[in-house]
Structure 1
Amino acid sequence: MVVAQTAVCAETGNYAVFLTLLVKAGGEAVIRRAAAALPSLTRTIADQVGEPELVSAFGIGADVWESVTGCAKPEGLEPFKALADGPRVAPSTPADLFVHIHSPRQDANLVLARELMRLLGDGATLVEEVMSYKHLGGRDLTGFVDGTENPEGEERAEVALVADGPHAGGSFVSLQRYVHDLARWEALPLPEQEGCIGRTKADDEELDDDVKPPTAHIARVVIEEDGEELEVVRHSLPYGGVGERGLYFVAYCADPAVFRRMLENMVMTDHEGHHDRLLDFTKPVTGASFFTPSATFLEGLA
């Protein structure tokens, strides 16, 4: 039986550690051993620190997939492609590997992250480490509830995981780190903020269609195809303190084209001249894509 990596479909924890790394020349064998050890290592540390909800996922990028795994790439795995339209830019930034760890405790997350980095040793270089947290019960730093329509329960696996074939139980994952301009955002009157999002701030109710602007965030990213809404499983969390602050956006999906369509609808101006107005107040500064194979696949790399 194929088993998915534990972080992919688990409900998002209160705290997370996100790591992106580059593989060093000749480091593939070290990476392979560390990746194979991660599922067991996660269980061991969960027992050691007394945190049963500690979970993890390890993603591998297109450029190093074959050299690290020795297998053909999953169909659809490609490097993140940058997008730009006027002042809105969704950049592509260097990253070969992605590590996602979350639980109700940041100390448990860091114990696992440090031990994994020890195993990775000289095989990889750390590009970025972001520690994120749940804010006000699940709100973004803009004050709005984040991920209201995120799939729940068994639907998470249906949305996130490849159903069959050699890469069954795996998931395509895309990430972007957003930096918010909270000073400009907080200067907006409440009705304008709600128009940017498409939902009410206090009680998270969707605005009526005759009130919701076509530039509202949810108007841009809620896409229906053949009567079905396209979905991703989000593990996004705020990060930062009194200085730079924003959202670390993570989307898992069985089909990478779904996230891409959402991003294009946000960044690119449509034929009526509309784009996602939320991007006037926040900007992505990173962008990378990976495939998180099943835990069964990872452990088979040993």
Structure 2
Amino acid sequence: MTHTRIQPVLNRPGENALFIVLGLNQEDSITDTIIDFSANFSALTRSLTNRFPDAQFSATMGFSSHAWDQLFPNQSKPQELETFKEIKGPKYTAVSTAGDLFFHIRADRQALCYELGSIIQEQLKDVTHSIDEVHGFRYFDGRAIIGFVDGTENPEPEIAAEYALVGEEDLSFKGGSYAFIQKYTHDMDKWRALSDEEQEKVIGRKKFNDVELGDDVKPNTAHNVVSKAHDENGNELKIMRANMPFSNPSKNEYGTLFIGYARKFSVTRQMLEHMFQGDAEGNLDRLLDFSTAQTGTLFFVPTVDFLDGLGE
């Protein structure tokens, strides 16, 4: 029985992360260069992993709907891969922004993130242009920059693949994953003006020990209430988050790069619709009063086997 080799979407967020979004240039000649690079991507990452076995290095590569159409016109397409459509709510909007290729690089040593980032730039600079680059870091014990532990809603490692990886429902792309990214910036002056108790009601958890607030004190607008997704039977659906804080303090820039890996993008989208447009009771996510989505782009992260097969 052949074993499907998946990209490392299930890895922990790591100490450092580099998120790179590139756009494809318009020339017809770019396809071969990008296909060659993609076919060699697993060899490139394997080489760095082998050189620095203790650095917890990993990297994933994803493609937008537009890139898929341009690069693989004769291949079928993942069922839910589309250009993200903005979600406009009564107060705030989950914007849709450009992006064709996506790289999520993680390592305990920042030098390794830099190393792969510079190789990507060197090999793709003539066929792509930079759209965004975010340098994430682990903040204390895995906290977001607003001071609360992030990723607490992630499924347990034993069942994470069930929520993060495509299954039998789309056999051609089994083992792949839908990666949705949003760069949020936070109004820290406004956030710091809240007491710890008020902040806890925005998030729905205790700040110090991360214990969930009791239903008697937790508002219906709390982030961990509104941002849930459910199937038609009311069972909760999860995604795999690998969010990272980023900051340029001298520019008063504080943010979170949200990344959700999901078996179905429709699950992530349901979460976003609840946050921005309101859940079944019309509650909006109170966290959006302090956090602004600056970007929003959907990519598909195929299997390592798919990437390697591009070279044939």
| Corresponding residue number in structure 1 for 2:36 | 33
| Corresponding residue number in structure 2 for 1:257 | 266
Contact 1:51 1:108 in 2 (8 A): no
| Corresponding residue number in structure 1 for 2:25 | 24
Structure 1 counterpart of 2:59, from 56, 59, 80? 56
CA distance in 2, matches of 1:269, 1:171: 26
Contact 1:66 1:72 in 2 (8 A): no
| Corresponding residue number in structure 1 for 2:6 | 4
Q: How far 1:52 moved relative to its partner?
A: 5.1
Contact 2:226 2:279 in 1 (8 A): no
Q: How far 1:43 moved relative to its partner?
A: 1.0
Query: Percent sequence identity over matched residues?
Result: 38
| Corresponding residue number in structure 2 for 1:102 | 106
| Corresponding residue number in structure 2 for 1:160 | 164
The answer to whether structure 1 residue 71 and structure 2 residue 68 are counterparts is no
| Gapped regions of structure 2 (runs ≥ 5) | none
CA distance in 2, matches of 1:254, 1:81: 19
Q: How far 1:192 moved relative to its partner?
A: 1.2
Structure 2 counterpart of 1:231, from 231, 234, 238? 238
Q: How far 1:47 moved relative to its partner?
A: 2.6
Q: How far 1:266 moved relative to its partner?
A: 0.4
Q: How far 1:103 moved relative to its partner?
A: 1.2
Q: How far 1:115 moved relative to its partner?
A: 1.0
SS in 2 for 1:245: strand
| Corresponding residue number in structure 2 for 1:294 | 303
SS in 1 for 2:246: strand
Contact 2:87 2:95 in 1 (8 A): yes
The answer to whether structure 1 residue 193 and structure 2 residue 199 are counterparts is yes
Specify whether residues 224 and 66 from structure 1 end up closer, same or farther in structure 2 by C-alpha distance, changes over 3 A only: closer
Q: How far 1:190 moved relative to its partner?
A: 1.7
Specify whether residues 138 and 52 from structure 1 end up closer, same or farther in structure 2 by C-alpha distance, changes over 3 A only: closer
Aligned pairs (5 A) from 1:78-157: 78-157=82-161
CA distance in 2, matches of 1:51, 1:301: 30
**Scaled by the length of structure 1, what TM-score is found?**
0.96
Q: What is the count of residue pairs matched by the alignment?
A: 301
CA distance in 1, matches of 2:62, 2:293: 20
CA distance in 2, matches of 1:156, 1:273: 30
Contact 1:38 1:116 in 2 (8 A): no
The answer to whether structure 1 residue 217 and structure 2 residue 223 are counterparts is yes
| Corresponding residue number in structure 2 for 1:47 | 50
Q: How far 1:126 moved relative to its partner?
A: 1.1
Q: How far 1:247 moved relative to its partner?
A: 0.1
Range with bigger deviation, 53-62 or 24-33:
24-33
Contact 2:55 2:109 in 1 (8 A): no
| Gapped regions of structure 1 (runs ≥ 5) | none
Letter in structure 2 aligned against 1:64: A
CA distance in 2, matches of 1:273, 1:5: 37
SS in 2 for 1:9: coil
SS in 2 for 1:64: helix
Letter in structure 1 aligned against 2:235: E
Letter in structure 2 aligned against 1:31: I
Specify whether residues 9 and 273 from structure 1 end up closer, same or farther in structure 2 by C-alpha distance, changes over 3 A only: closer
Range with bigger deviation, 204-213 or 246-255:
204-213
Range with bigger deviation, 276-285 or 185-194:
185-194
Which deviations, in whole Å up to 9, do the C-alpha atoms of 1:152-177 show, x marking residues without a partner?
32322121111231111100110000
Q: How far 1:289 moved relative to its partner?
A: 0.2
Which deviations, in whole Å up to 9, do the C-alpha atoms of 1:119-177 show, x marking residues without a partner?
22311111111110110110011111111121232322121111231111100110000
Which deviations, in whole Å up to 9, do the C-alpha atoms of 1:93-114 show, x marking residues without a partner?
1101111110111111111111
CA distance in 1, matches of 2:260, 2:40: 24
Contact 2:246 2:256 in 1 (8 A): yes
CA distance in 2, matches of 1:52, 1:39: 17
Contact 1:15 1:106 in 2 (8 A): yes
Range with bigger deviation, 156-165 or 212-221:
156-165
SS in 2 for 1:95: coil
Which deviations, in whole Å up to 9, do the C-alpha atoms of 1:195-227 show, x marking residues without a partner?
110111111111111211010001101233325
Q: How far 1:278 moved relative to its partner?
A: 0.4
